């Protein structure tokens, strides 16, 4: 017995064992399941990005341009001049550790370099070595280190393990935002052609075809026509959306993911039904057919290049204002960047609901309003005929999408909408929602399939909170207002919390929406049976009769 | 006193030791975090492990059937299945209970046999669960790829 | 370990340097007059340069981190402090941040609500210690103004008497000094003992802590144990201030140590993370209003970019568009 190794000894062989060495001395190890494939030559070429070539992440040689280090350092110098945020965030971190355990990737993986402070230090150490006196003179003692190929790979690995969710920034006493640092780091990596295909591919699609999925105009129309048929089948109402129609009052833009894959398609059907019921004078655009912006995960310039289409299409079509669908980072861009990028949108008017007459003064300059703001206003003015009972089989909780939460502050509108269309709503614990919401683990272009382990780890804190409300209240539906959430949360729930489904908020609205001329709804948009409503109704009538 | 009584009496010290042994398989500063943070939502990994091993321990004392252990083991192993452990590493946390018990209490050989077989059974169930988890991850990857 | 030893050793060497310089080499002029003047100049020029350099980099985008409900529909209550949409709100938010360390406090909130067992210990202590440290440091600095101003203004005397309200010992013990030493020691211990924080710390994190501990200890020694002659010192400081410096007579070497460490700190500030005291005011995620859609923010370096125009798009897909009845510009 004594000769056998103790279980602890077996465990001690695990190469996951504590790094006793300082973090700077631990070279990066690129692990399967934790990274996305490198950007393809063709995608980068389409976008006119430098160093487009065939390469593989696992190869030793990343085929970098000559003097790549010079390119990076010059890029850094340029960005230090252009962004006060970058400069200040490089300088003032005191490494207090408040952010350390706020990152969902750290919580799920335990990898110290996933602590926001260390993620930023990866870049800061190079900054100190090259741009500060202390780092230049003292070297490592001054917190600096040389930019080597290993450092570069480390950057690539860890800055594509940050979902730019800004949660750490909420807890930082100086407001240091790792998202900002990651964005700069990714810009630097893109100077060398070091993107991931899951970002570069959709961005290239979006540039040429107008949307991430690369849907061509006729395909968009076909996809929506298919949804129109579905709606007719379920509700008996034939809705008739228009495309690229000049003179419409409103241009509607939403992430293309909603046209294509469940459960986003149900949300998309929700838009179609809602707008039809309101008799809204609106149009879709096949050119500006993407609300999301994967350019934002690459560089500010590319974000701007993709974002341009929204205003230019609005101008071409002569609409009065733009209505935006449910999406996370799309709204970060619209709320904090679009007007600065491509404004002023003086050819548009202040968004005004044609149904309620409400002027959305908060969007006075950008002229774009969020569907949740729009719907909340409708419901408040009692303009929708709603039957929340149809959602009674659902016990709903709401996942605040990071970008909408921390880059906009839209907490109450979607909650108001959900509570108006669902009778059973339960909040997740306080430290996992609103400004403290946990990321789905797949934001900022990380929702590929090859990095599933990373996504599952990063999604653990969110899933764990969902599990809690599932156990506590029997929650079976996770509502969200983000297309990446709708794509990323289903596998996350499937793995961590089986029995919980994912829905967009507008899908819930559409299911509760009593439309003029509709037939009796026997199923919801997903085709799930609703006959239990009748049973319950007859039951309650029975009860009334007994009481009488 | 039966073995179960002894175990019940030393419940806390054994579980704490067991927890420490498991958590020490993580990087040191991570281990500190996992140990120190008691909030379920701020520390899902630590919480799940702690809660899980408490339930396992309880189950052993109460002679629960193998099937009843399934959901508890599932919670812990799901996490380990996404954390770069090999199958043997992932399930080794079960065996650490032996060590924790040896350190904390003196057990007669005959009784030891019964409890060790239980632990071995749990380990083999764990391995099944682990393989299922990995299979599921693979499936999720393929499903995503289709989209 | 090096990252703790090296800065610790540095401070000891610095102390040794003064000791030798004053006690053995009689360099009173150097340590009493030259170095303070140089240090103050470097401090002022350094801090100003640093802040100017920061402000030279523009803020291209308005990127507040929103921590509360936005201002949108009139009937929804917005959170004007955590997600300010006006300048007044921003000032309020910054005040909360700077005076009470609002964001650091967020760490502890959950625990306060979750009772009954204490968790989040470390975070709560961090907030408390940081608050105690910064406030007591401020009080100590302000208290020292009594050595620079003659006559001492009433509010300063009031502060001193408040600070010493416990009336223990002679001279009266200033609470701020005790709090400062306590808090800074906690912060140092935390950096050494908490493995998480130890792991992320750099020598540059330990050095100022050792330095401040040195300053606090030498100050306390001077006031309570070697009982330095305040009248002498005041004559010296007023001399420094009026640019007619005289070397203080009859003061112990402890005074020189205290003075020199303060000088080192002053010189160190502009080149280090201690500049966070200025940086926080300029942090774009905190000092901007979330009125992005209401008011256009201008990016000074905004430049035209290459875009894929609608015309190019239609040229590529015209036939496909016509086939499904999507309107086109060129028939």
The rounded distance, in Å, linking the Cα atoms of C230 and C235 is: 9
Chosen for mutation from A1, A5, A11 (greatest number of chain B CBs closer than 10 Å) is: A11
In which domain, by residue range, is C251 found? Answer: 2-300
Render pLDDT for B34-88 as a digit per residue (tens, 0 to 9). Answer: 887 677 888 888 889 999 999 999 998 888 888 899 999 999 999 999 888 888 8
Q: Three-state SS string across A433-468, please?
A: CHHHCCCCCCCCCCCCCCCHHHHHHHHHHHHHHHHH
> C137-158 as b/e, with b when 16 or more CB fall inside 10 Å?
bebbeebeebbeeeeeeeebee
Q: Are residues C211 and C313 in the same domain?
A: no
Q: Please answer yes or no on whether B45 and A108 come within 8 Å at the CB atom.
A: yes
Q: Please answer yes or no on whether C120 and B33 come within 8 Å at the CB atom.
A: no
Q: Are residues C36 and C135 in the same domain?
A: yes
CATH placement of domain A22-195? 1.10.1060
The rounded distance, in Å, linking the Cα atoms of A107 and B45 is: 7
The rounded distance, in Å, linking the Cα atoms of C124 and C106 is: 9
On whether any CB of chain C is under 8 Å from the CB of B42, the answer is yes
Q: Are residues C244 and C141 in the same domain?
A: yes
Q: Are residues C213 and C328 in the same domain?
A: no
Where are the alpha helices (H) located in C20-77, listed in sequence order?
28-29, 35-56
Q: Are residues C199 and C318 in the same domain?
A: no
Render pLDDT for C191-205 as a digit per residue (tens, 0 to 9). Answer: 998 878 888 999 999
The rounded distance, in Å, linking the Cα atoms of A83 and C100 is: 28
Instruction: State the pLDDT at residue B40.
Output: 81
Please work out, in degrees rounded to the nearest 5, the angle formed at the alpha carbon of residue A102 by the alpha carbons of A99 and A105. Answer: 120
What's the DSSP call for residue A369?
A: E
Render pLDDT for A132-169 as a digit per residue (tens, 0 to 9). Answer: 988 899 888 889 999 999 999 999 999 999 999 999 99
HSE-CB for C84 with a 13 A CA cutoff: 19
Say yes or no to pLDDT of A463 above 90. Answer: yes
Number of independent structural domains in chain C: 2
- Asked if residues B84 and B53 have their Cβ atoms less than 8 Å apart, the reply is no
Chosen for mutation from B82, B90, B103, B123 (greatest number of chain A CBs closer than 10 Å) is: B82
Show the tokens assigned to C275: 């500049």
The rounded distance, in Å, linking the Cα atoms of A172 and A166 is: 10
**Beta-bridge partner residues of A479:** A398, A503
> A88 in helix, strand or coil?
helix
Per cent of chain A over pLDDT 70 is 95
Q: Are residues C200 and C318 in the same domain?
A: no
Show the tokens assigned to C286: 């905190």
DSSP A371-403: HHHHHHHHHHTT-S-B-GGGGTT--EEE---HH
Compute how many other C-beta atoms are within 10 angstroms of the C-beta atom of residue A24: 17
Domain edges within chain A: 22-195, 201-512
Show the tokens assigned to A318: 């002569």
Please work out, in degrees rounded to the nearest 5, the angle formed at the alpha carbon of residue C216 by the alpha carbons of C214 and C220. Answer: 115
DSSP C122-139: HHHHHHHHHHHHHHHHHH
Q: Please answer yes or no on whether C199 and B29 come within 8 Å at the CB atom.
A: yes
> C172 in helix, strand or coil?
coil
Closest by Cβ to B30, choosing from A110, A431, A468:
A110
Q: Are residues C84 and C176 in the same domain?
A: yes
Q: Please answer yes or no on whether C292 and A366 come within 8 Å at the CB atom.
A: yes
Render pLDDT for C271-303 as a digit per residue (tens, 0 to 9). Answer: 999 999 999 999 999 999 999 999 999 999 999
* Bond prior to C151 in cis (omega within 30° of 0): yes
Show the tokens assigned to C322: 């016509």
The rounded distance, in Å, linking the Cα atoms of B49 and B62 is: 20
Q: Please answer yes or no on whether A101 and B39 come within 8 Å at the CB atom.
A: no
Question: Who has greater pLDDT, B111 or C141?
Answer: C141
Q: How confident is the model at residue A542 (pLDDT cuts 50, 70, 90)?
A: low
A31: chain B residues, CB-CB within 8 Å: 84
**Between the CA of residue C252 and those of A416, A465, C25, C169, C217, what are the distances in Å?**
70, 62, 15, 21, 15
- The pair phi, psi for residue A523, each rounded to 5°, is -135, 165
Q: Please answer yes or no on whether C286 and A174 come within 8 Å at the CB atom.
A: yes
The rounded distance, in Å, linking the Cα atoms of A522 and A528 is: 8
Render pLDDT for A232-245 as a digit per residue (tens, 0 to 9). Answer: 999 999 999 999 99
Q: Are residues C161 and C32 in the same domain?
A: yes
Q: Are residues C213 and C317 in the same domain?
A: no
Euclidean distance between the first and final Cα of chain A, in Å? 78
Return the closest-CA partner of residue A153 out of A215, A68, A233, A91. Answer: A68
Chosen for mutation from C112, C199, C200 (greatest number of chain B CBs closer than 10 Å) is: C199
Q: Are residues C67 and C216 in the same domain?
A: yes
């Amino acid at each position: 017995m004594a000769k056998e190794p103790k279980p602890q000894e077996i465990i001690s062989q695990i190469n996951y064992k504590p790094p006793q060495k300082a973090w700077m001395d631990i070279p990066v190890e690129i692990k399967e399941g934790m990274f996305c494939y490198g950007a393809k030559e063709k995608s980068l070429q389409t976008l006119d990005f430098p160093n487009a070539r065939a390469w593989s992440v696992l190869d030793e040689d990343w085929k970098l341009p000559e003097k790549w280090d010079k390119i990076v350092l010059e890029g850094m110098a340029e960005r230090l001049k252009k962004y006060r945020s970058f400069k200040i965030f490089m300088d003032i971190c005191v490494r207090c550790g408040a952010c350390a355990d706020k990152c969902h990737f750290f919580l799920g993986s335990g990898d110290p370099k996933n602590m926001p402070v260390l993620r930023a230090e990866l870049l800061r150490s190079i900054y100190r070595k090259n741009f500060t006196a202390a780092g230049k003179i003292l070297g490592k003692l001054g917190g600096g280190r040389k930019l080597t190929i290993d450092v570069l790979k480390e950057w690539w690995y860890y800055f594509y393990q940050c979902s730019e969710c800004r949660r750490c920034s909420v807890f930082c006493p100086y407001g240091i935002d790792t998202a900002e640092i990651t964005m700069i780091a990714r810009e630097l990596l893109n100077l060398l052609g070091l993107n991931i295909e899951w970002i570069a591919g959709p961005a290239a699609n979006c540039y040429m075809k107008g949307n991430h999925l690369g849907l061509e105009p006729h395909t968009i129309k076909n996809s929506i026509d298919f949804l129109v048929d579905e709606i007719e089948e379920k509700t008996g109402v034939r809705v008739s959306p228009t495309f690229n129609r000049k003179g419409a009052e409103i241009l509607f833009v939403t992430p293309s993911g909603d046209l294509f894959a469940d459960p986003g398609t149900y949300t998309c059907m929700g838009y179609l039904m809602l707008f039809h019921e309101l008799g809204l004078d609106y149009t879709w655009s096949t050119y500006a057919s993407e609300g999301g912006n994967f350019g934002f995960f690459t560089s500010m310039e590319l974000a701007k290049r993709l974002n341009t289409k929204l205003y230019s299409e609005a101008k071409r079509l002569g609409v009065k204002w733009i209505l935006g669908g449910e999406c996370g980072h799309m709204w970060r861009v619209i709320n904090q960047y679009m007007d600065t990028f491509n404004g002023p949108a003086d050819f548009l008017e202040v968004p005004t609901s044609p149904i309620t007459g409400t002027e959305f003064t908060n969007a006075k300059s950008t002229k774009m309003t969020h569907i949740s703001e729009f719907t909340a206003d409708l419901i408040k003015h009692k303009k929708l005929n709603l039957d929340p009972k149809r959602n009674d089989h659902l016990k709903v909780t709401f996942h605040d999408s990071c970008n909408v939460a921390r880059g906009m502050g839209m907490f109450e509108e979607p909650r108001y909408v959900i509570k108006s269309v669902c009778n059973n709503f339960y909040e997740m614990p306080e430290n996992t929602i609103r400004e403290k919401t946990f990321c789905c683990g797949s934001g900022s272009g990380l929702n590929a399939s090859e990095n599933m382990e990373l996504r599952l780890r990063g999604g653990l804190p969110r899933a764990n909170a969902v599990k809690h409300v599932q156990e506590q209240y029997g929650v079976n539906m996770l509502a969200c207002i983000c297309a990446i959430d709708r794509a990323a949360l289903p596998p996350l729930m499937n793995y961590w919390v089986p029995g919980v489904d994912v829905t967009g908020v507008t899908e819930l609205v559409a299911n509760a929406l009593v439309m003029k001329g509709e037939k009796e709804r026997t199923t919801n948009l997903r085709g799930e049976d609703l006959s239990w409503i009748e049973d319950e109704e007859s039951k309650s009538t029975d009860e009334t009769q007994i009481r009488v | 006193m039966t073995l179960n009584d002894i175990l019940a009496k030393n419940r806390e010290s054994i579980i704490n030791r067991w927890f420490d042994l498991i958590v020490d398989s993580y990087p040191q500063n991570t281990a500190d975090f996992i140990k120190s943070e008691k909030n379920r939502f701020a520390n899902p990994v630590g919480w799940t492990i702690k809660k899980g091993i408490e339930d396992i321990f309880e189950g052993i004392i109460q002679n629960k059937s193998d099937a009843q252990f399934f959901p508890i083991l599932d919670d812990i192993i799901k996490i380990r299945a996404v954390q770069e452990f090999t199958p043997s590493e992932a399930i080794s946390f079960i065996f650490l209970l032996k060590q924790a018990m040896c350190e904390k209490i003196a057990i007669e050989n005959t009784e030891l046999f019964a409890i060790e077989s239980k632990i071995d059974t749990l380990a083999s169930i764990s391995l099944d669960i682990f393989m299922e988890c990995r299979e599921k991850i693979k499936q999720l990857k393929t499903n995503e790829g289709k989209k | 370990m090096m990252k703790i030893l090296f800065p610790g050793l540095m401070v000891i060497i610095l102390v040794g340097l003064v000791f030798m310089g004053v006690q053995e080499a009689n360099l009173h002029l150097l340590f009493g007059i030259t170095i303070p003047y140089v240090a103050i100049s470097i401090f002022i020029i350094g801090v100003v340069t640093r802040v100017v350099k920061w402000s030279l980099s523009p803020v291209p985008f308005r990127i507040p981190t929103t921590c509360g409900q936005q201002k949108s529909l009139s009937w929804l209550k917005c959170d004007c402090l955590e997600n300010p949409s006006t300048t007044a709100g921003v000032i309020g938010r910054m005040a909360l941040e700077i005076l009470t360390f609002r964001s650091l406090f967020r760490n502890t909130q959950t625990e306060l609500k979750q009772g009954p067992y204490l968790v989040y210990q470390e975070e709560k202590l961090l907030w408390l210690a940081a608050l105690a440290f910064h406030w007591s440091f401020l009080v100590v600095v302000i208290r020292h103004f009594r050595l620079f101003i003659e006559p001492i203004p009433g509010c300063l005397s009031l502060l001193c008497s408040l600070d010493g309200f416990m009336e223990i010992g002679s001279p009266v013990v200033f609470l701020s000094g005790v709090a400062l030493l306590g808090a800074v020691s906690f912060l140092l211990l935390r950096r050494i003992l908490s493995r998480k924080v130890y792991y992320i710390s750099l020598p540059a994190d330990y050095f100022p802590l050792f330095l401040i501990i040195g300053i606090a200890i030498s100050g306390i020694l001077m006031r309570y144990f070697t009982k330095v002659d305040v009248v002498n010192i005041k004559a010296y400081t007023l001399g420094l201030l009026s640019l007619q410096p005289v070397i203080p007579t009859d003061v112990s070497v402890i005074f020189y140590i205290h003075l020199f460490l303060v000088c080192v700190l002053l010189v160190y500030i502009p080149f280090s993370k201690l500049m966070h005291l200025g940086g926080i005011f300029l942090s774009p995620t905190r000092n901007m209003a979330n009125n992005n859609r209401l008011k256009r923010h201008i990016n000074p370096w905004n430049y035209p970019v290459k875009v894929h125009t609608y015309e190019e798009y239609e040229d590529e897909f015209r036939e496909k568009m016509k086939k499904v009845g999507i309107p086109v510009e060129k028939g």
